[in-house]
Amino acid sequence: METRVYSWGDGRPWHSYAAYCRRHFGGRVRKIAVDAGLSCPNRDGTIGSEGCTFCDNRAFTPSYCSPRKSLTRQIDEGIAFHAARGRDEGLCLVYFQPFSNTHAPVARLRELYAEALAHPRISGLVIGTRPDCVDDEKLDLLAELARKRYVAVEYGVESTCDETLRAVRRGHDFAAARQAIAASAARGLHVGAHFILGLPGEDDEMLLRQVERINAVAKTVTAQFTGSGVNELIRLYRQRINQKKIDEDFLIYAMDSVDIRIFNLHNEDGKKMHAGSTCVMLALQKRGMYCLSVGDSRLYLLRNNAIAQLTRDHTVALKAENDYRLEKISYDEYLKLSEDKSTLCSYFGLGGIEIYDLNKELYELNKNDILVAVTDGLYKSLNVNEIKDILLKNRDVKSMAEQLIHKAALFAKGKNQDNTTVAICRIR
């Protein structure tokens, strides 16, 4: 019987981390753990002081690791530690393991990473951290180092379920993890994610849902590394169509893939382009739909002669409202920011989408419901009642779309008029 060999060069139906490293580096690789003496925002009072319920760094930190020693000494002792166990061959990577190893000023991080990379046996870095401990400046530093050496970021995600993350005092949600992973992948960094499946309160159904979400995030990163995000999206769409599985997880994967693709656009001279786009995506099912929106494109529902907007405009004003509710900003700051109802705070091309709308439960649809997806070029020319009147006066969706475009053109706002796009679906 012929033995199957998978695309990662192994006969086993999973791609192990060890096999990945052997394939990438051409041989064995050792991770030499070091303790840089950094803390964690969930312990130093930044967001909490008790830490996550499951975390005890003493349980997984080698005995030679100590912030009282220099990084160079820890690396030397780590290499000796492995050599004493017959594991001296192969390349070595410095593993910044205990606590959150991007939780420090960029200048301090640059010093730590430089000292580690200066060791003659070290071929690269693996940075263990939290999704809420990175920003553009820190990721740019890692991307700078990655141009010459191997650099990977390993995020402690733990769960895709926000209720679980709250229960274990994690201090961030799954959206923060997805954003950090997407932003890291957009810079060409190698990305890892740690999960603890089966945390208290998680049942079998939740575990299966997590597998779907984890795979969706993983495929997004893979698409970025291969430089074929759009092709990968098309491939997955066709695969899901065959499986009759176009759902909310697919929409999230599609969002991240397109976001990363736009973020990485460069012109013919190799200069990075600053491009952006908004979007409304629908996944129609037999009994209803999932809808994901980013930016200020809108989805309207016409039902029984009444029209309703199902999406929100992701503006500075909306973010201010959310931040004030979460006590991130003061009331005075909220009042000032809430006046800006036009500037977008979320759109494709950011390299990590923080704010988006997605219904968690299937939105039920009725026969003869009409769904209308539009860009701001339409609703800034026609108010919601004008849109409704045109929909009611036309019998077929083609005529509806044509009349909406025609009327929008008549009432266009001159040279400042944005593009107008309309997509209409009637439920049979």
Is residue 77's pLDDT more than 90?
Answer: yes
Residue 220 lies in a domain: no
Residue 50 lies in a domain: yes
Counting the structural domains of the chain, the total is: 1
181 lies in which domain range? 17-195
Residues whose CB falls within 8 Å of the CB of residue 375, separated by 6 or more in sequence, listed in order: 278, 297, 418, 419, 420, 421
Residue 306 lies in a domain: no
Residue 32 lies in a domain: yes
Is residue 24's pLDDT more than 80?
Answer: no
Q: How confident is the model at residue 386 (pLDDT cuts 50, 70, 90)?
A: very high
- Per-residue pLDDT reduced to its tens digit, 200-247: 888 888 888 888 888 878 766 655 544 433 444 455 556 555 555 667
Residue 393 lies in a domain: no
Range scoring the smallest mean pLDDT among 2-11, 61-70, 256-265, 301-310: 2-11
Residue 215 lies in a domain: no
The single-letter code of the amino acid at 197 is L
Residue 67 lies in a domain: yes
Is residue 268's pLDDT more than 60?
Answer: no
| CATH code for the domain of 90 | 3.20.20.70
Residue 168 lies in a domain: yes
CA pseudo-torsion sign 58, 60, 62, 67: negative
According to DSSP, residue 200 is labeled T
CA distance 375 to 50: 46
CA distance 294 to 306: 24
